[in-house]
Amino acid sequence: MRFLYYRTEMETPRHLTSLADNLKLAYSAAVSRRQQFLIRCLGGSTKKKNFNFQSIRMQSVMSSGPSLEADSVSILRSIIPGLESTKHKGQAGNGEINDDVTHRIDGGWTKWRLALGSRVIRRPLQLKGKIAVVGGCREYTGAPYFSAISALKIGADLSHVFCTKDAAPVIKSYSPELIVHPILEESYSIRDEEKSSISAKVIAEVEKWMERFDCLVVGPGLGRDPFLLGNRYSAPNYNQAYPAGDCVSNIMKHARERNVPMVIDGDGLYLVTNCLDLVSGYPLAVLTPNVNEYKRLVQKVLNSEVNDENGTDQLLSLAKGGMRNGWEIRLPTQRSRIGGVTILRKGKSDFVSDGKTACAVSIYGSPRRCGGQGDILSGSVAVFLSWARQCAAKGEVSMNPTILGCVAGSALLRYAASMAFDNKKRSTLTGDIIECLGRSLQEICPV
């Protein structure tokens, strides 16, 4: 056998150079794995350090120029409340109502509303951490459960589910931790002459609870029953009588009147896309569309197709509901607008915009995309939005609370999904991710 000796690197064949480089990389990777194994054996953690790595750039088809990556870890740590042994149930992690809020109470509701120059008729922010999910029908019982239980796992005090009577026993069987209200009805179970009275009963029942909620999640597992969603949207004036049969539409109008934040996902987005007035101009509304839902929103509001090359500008324009950098609302009527809301566009990287600013969350994540992750996100955003509003009321944050809630919810879900995938790989399911929410939160913000 003949061996050739090459005296210089210039004389070295390319395939041998490539082989040497691969051997170096393999050796380096092996050393790194041994180091991580040693750290784990000594009781340390390698994942927490990775989560602080903020120089990562967006890996997305959206062209955004300079990186829009949000400092997700800092945001999470800034809005997660501490736990104190002196707090009883309903107060843990929510802080005290500050002097400003107390002053507003003493001053009277009318005087406060006039000072704000708004139509807010809800009492001042109570900072309780109570979440309500409006969703769940015969076909879909998992989605509202995933959303509601995720809120509890993150730290909400109570989690309610308003669903149809058929879905209630199933959802109750999933967990005794949830408060389930079987009050919604579907078309197949009622007669035409009963629709008006049943709709009034549904609204009356929800109205009894509405003042207690810090955030509403609308849409998980809701279905598209015409009586349930509502098919008449002729009352943009929120003081007018509500049309009979539009159960969920009327619930959303009541929530808006009382200044209750809403996270809208799933079939709730289908409803909103067909009736933009439900959220148009409401700054406490958060929409969480996936690829197809986002496409329908862009077609309805901007009268155009999704443009990933100018994705950031298009998202800003969609959330703003006006005109920005050449993107224009071309539909003539005011009802085609959706400005004032916050939109969380889900994808390989999650993008968030309130029409004024835009940011992205691309840290971690999982290559395994299982059904139900969006439901976890909606429940997570609801909790973090409530906590961010609490911080804003105290003057601890200056950024829009809806933006903060979206960034925090997205980052935590992506981290939990990554952790679940490390354990289960291809068999990762939504329940596995939910079980990792607590550990993920603990690693980011230890108690």
Task: List Cα–Cα distances, 113 to 108, 120, 121, 188, 355, in angstroms.
Answer: 9, 6, 7, 43, 25
Binding annotation: 221, 290-296, 346-350, 365-375
SS3 176: coil
Tell me, letter by letter, the H, E, C secondary structure of 311-346.
Answer: HHHHHHHHHHCCCECCECCCCCCHHHCCCCCEEEEC
Token readout for 153 is 């796992």
CA distance 149 to 139: 19
Q: Give how far the C-alpha of residue 31 lies from the chain's centroid of Cα atoms, to the nearest Å.
A: 39
Block residue for tokens 């107390």: 102
Task: List Cα–Cα distances, 66 to 100, 312, 344, 360, 369, in angstroms.
Answer: 39, 11, 19, 11, 28
Give which of 293, 296, 312, 316 is closest to 304, Cα–Cα: 296
CA distance 279 to 272: 7
CA distance 162 to 134: 5
Tell me, letter by letter, the H, E, C secondary structure of 26-76.
Answer: HHHHHHHHHHHHHHHHCCCCCHHHHHCCCCCCCCCCCCCCCCCECCHHHHH
Contacts of 65 (CB under 8 A, 6+ apart): 312
CA distance 392 to 154: 20
User: Amino acid letter at 285?
Assistant: A
CA distance 264 to 258: 17
Enclosing H/E stretch for 9: none
**Could you give the residue ranges of the DSSP H alpha helices within 275-397?**
291-301, 311-320, 373-393
Binding annotation for (6S)-NADPHX: 221, 290-296, 375
Token readout for 428 is 């990762």
